[in-house]
Structure 1
Amino acid sequence: MKNFLIPTTLKDDTICAVKSAISQAKSSGCEIILMMVSDAPDTFSSSAYLREMRTGLTASQEIVLETCRYMIDHTPNCKIKVHNQYGLSSPIFKHIIDVFAVKLVILPMSYKQETKRIHQYLVQLAGNQKCPILHLGSEQYREDFNKALYIENARANMHVKDVQQFLNDNFSFEIVSQTANFDDNYEKFAPYLSEAISKYDIDLLVETRKGEKIKFKKTKKKDMNERLGLPVLSLYEEMA
């Protein structure tokens, strides 16, 4: 059984994230943890603390949650759990990954676009964990991902064969093409990327990452799946 962690504010693309988890689990079954984070109430009064923690869901959020539960109820060997987390830190997030034995973090596009600091903080914390991360794209949901484009980081000193072996052991993706990292010169590479994606019918990008210092910037730089609209599987370099 594989366990998946989906940070969410219960926007519509949470349903796509749950579908993706079910697809990745294949027939082995899964447990999906929908994690909703909030700032811990800033009060010394226990009664005020409990009152502020009682935050209900909107009608649209209820619909998304019930849809996710319906899908799991009709999927053999799969379970779903809602985890409400008040306050967040690096040790707490690592503990959540370990306790739930998470094999893959799935980040919906809507969650990465949340403006609250605690949501931005979670995204950065996830990047510093050794657990693989699947960044969902803006395109409509696809039942499964098959053909991948590997974005090679020259500083990582990683061979594509090592990355493919990791994919073989843990996923069902095949690297059919690769390119150098284009992060600093996207405009120049964009036409070649579009041509490769179309030619090889690529539906997934694969990258490696290292841990980084947590920073909050006023202007957020677009990452690859926001630029290209494709899902991105991000692997911590020590794992790959």
Structure 2
Amino acid sequence: MKNFLIPTTLKEDTISAVKSAVHQAKETPCEIILMMAAETPDSFSSSQFLREMRVGLTTSQQEVLETCRYIVDHTANCKIKIHNQYGLSSPIFKHIIDTFSVKLVILTPSYKQETKRIHQYAVQLVGNQRCPILHLGTEQFKEDFNKALYIENASANMHVKDIQQFLSNNFSFEIVSQTSKNEDNYEAMAPYLNEAITKYDIDLLVETRKGEKIKFKKNKKENINDKLGLPVLSLYEELV
């Protein structure tokens, strides 16, 4: 079974995330977990605690949820589950990954732009997990990814053949080009990236990552995913 975790506030692009999960599952049985995180109510009274935990959905959120359910209900091999999570920590998040046997986390652009601390914390916790992360692009949504550009992190010392072997075992993407990572001088590498993307009809970027210390910054640093608008599959280095 191939299970997917989608942290969400039920914005419109959650529908794209669910469609992507359904496509990635192929014909394999899967469960799609929509995780809605919220701060733990600060109350000594049990009755007040329970009252504050009851958070209703807006009309637009309800419509998104119903659309997601409709998509999954009409996909024979998939099921959907809503997981409400109050409070987060590294052990709690790891427990969620392990309990639901998550094989891929899908992050939407809207979720990464959320301003509440609990959602920013969730994004950083995702990055420290060993399972792959699919960052959806900001451009027009595309369900099927075929040709990938591998952005090599020089410090990782990983061969492209090892990355391709992992992709072949777990996904249906093929690496058709590669380049070195240089986020400090993106303007210099941008022409080469755009040329490769156009020449090879690339629709996905692949990168590796390491666990990082969690920090909250007022100004978020743009990554290649934000600048190019393409989806990015991020692989934990030790997993590969």
Question: Could you tell me the TM-score, scaled by structure 1's length?
Answer: 0.99
Q: Which amino acid aligns with 1:221?
A: K
Match of 2:85 in 1: 85
Match of 1:17 in 2: 17
Instruction: Show structure 2 runs of 5+ residues with no match.
Output: none
Q: Structure 2 matches for 1:1-240, cutoff 5 A?
A: 1-240=1-240
Q: Secondary structure at the match of 1:103?
A: strand
CA distance in 1, matches of 2:68, 2:211: 32
CA distance in 1, matches of 2:114, 2:56: 19
Cα deviations across residues 39-60 of structure 1 (Å, max 9, x unaligned)? 0001111011001000000000
| Per-residue deviation, 1:218 | 1.1
Q: Secondary structure at the match of 1:206?
A: strand
Cα deviations across residues 46-97 of structure 1 (Å, max 9, x unaligned)? 0110010000000000000000000011001110000000000000000000
Q: Determine what percentage of the aligned residue pairs are the same residue.
A: 78
CA distance in 2, matches of 1:17, 1:143: 9
CA distance in 2, matches of 1:199, 1:182: 21
CA distance in 2, matches of 1:45, 1:186: 52
Q: Secondary structure at the match of 1:161?
A: helix
Number of residue equivalences: 240
Q: Secondary structure at the match of 1:214?
A: coil
| Per-residue deviation, 1:140 | 1.6
Q: Which amino acid aligns with 1:130?
A: R
Cα deviations across residues 105-156 of structure 1 (Å, max 9, x unaligned)? 0001100010111111010001000010000010121121000000000000
Question: Could you tell me the TM-score, scaled by structure 2's length?
Answer: 0.99
CA distance in 1, matches of 2:115, 2:41: 19
| Per-residue deviation, 1:182 | 2.0
CA distance in 2, matches of 1:93, 1:139: 29
Q: Which amino acid aligns with 1:76?
A: A
CA distance in 2, matches of 1:229, 1:161: 26
Cα deviations across residues 171-214 of structure 1 (Å, max 9, x unaligned)? 00000000000211101111111111011000000000000000
Instruction: Show structure 1 runs of 5+ residues with no match.
Output: none
Using the TM superposition, name which of 139-148 and 127-136 deviates more: 139-148
CA distance in 1, matches of 2:224, 2:96: 27
CA distance in 2, matches of 1:74, 1:218: 42
CA distance in 1, matches of 2:118, 2:107: 15
| Per-residue deviation, 1:224 | 1.5
